[in-house]
Amino acid sequence: MLKLPELNSEYKLTHDQISQYQRDGHILLRNVCSKAEIAAFRSHIAAVVAQHAKKQKDLSERDTYGKAFLQIGNLWKRNEAVKKFVFARRFAQIAARLAGANAIQLYHDQALFKEGFGGLTPWHQDQFYWPLDTSQSLTLWMPLVDVSASMGSMDFASGSHKNGRLKDIPISDESDSYFKDYIKNHDFRICPSGEMRAGDATFHNGLTLHGAAANKTGQTREVMTIIYYPAGTKLLQPGNANQQIDFNAFYPGLKPGHAAANEQTPVLYSEP
């Protein structure tokens, strides 16, 4: 294997950027990775996704969620090169500082490849899926290729995280309709991330309402995500079937009220 970049150097965040993230529940950061760094890891991530893609139905045969993207999780367990990317100290340090945490843990990673002419990503809250007792979980969303707005970059409802957990509803046509009305009724400003270069990244709170438009191009929108939460977070009693699935998969042997911590969810960064 070729020598891969270390991704350990610090990405300097300003106090204004941290304040902006806490206020809005999301932020776009430019050049979190260089072109060379992304190029070094992209083929490894894409190779894992390609193996998963062989098992998928044709795009026309999938439901709304299935048309949104090819989704595969825990790539770090499947490929050592991808593990190095997911465990990057640089990313985890950003996450810790945005969340106001002294230490940050990995929840899991997900590749989200929106195929050419793939469908929209319905409006939703990520934390619907997570049995975690925290308001400071967050996701890094990083394109591996340059992404135009017409390829389906992210849209956020600024400040929506402050309203906490909302309707108990998975990503679907129903969530898209319900949360569009919710955003309108609560006068949240929709903030599109727009054009992003490979290596740019958005970070968003697990409670922030967000979605993405359909991919109107023939090029795949290749995106890697990493989900984090503050060290010391405790487990909740699962409130829906999806949370129960995650509880069983990520925290076997643990119970609600226990610290959400085991070898599957390591601490990736702690303040010295």
Element spanning 198, H or E: none
Domain ranges in the chain are 16-270
Task: Note the pTM of the prediction, 2 decimals.
Answer: 0.94
Give the tens place of pLDDT for each residue, 84-115.
999 999 999 999 999 999 999 999 999 999 98
CB 160 within 8 A of CB 208: yes
Exposed/middle/buried for residue 54 (C-beta within 10 Å: 0-12, 13-18, 19+) = exposed
Give the tens place of pLDDT for each residue, 68-80.
558 889 999 999 9
What class is the 16-270 domain? mainly beta
Element spanning 142, H or E: strand 138-143
Give the sign of the dihedral formed by CA 123, CA 126, CA 128, CA 134. negative
In order along its 272 residues, the chain shows pLDDT tens digits of 568 999 999 999 999 999 999 999 999 999 999 999 999 999 999 999 988 775 655 545 545 544 455 888 999 999 999 999 999 999 999 999 999 999 999 999 999 999 888 889 999 999 999 999 999 999 999 999 999 999 999 999 999 999 999 999 999 999 999 999 999 999 999 999 999 999 999 999 999 999 999 999 999 999 999 999 999 999 999 999 999 999 999 999 999 999 999 999 999 999 98
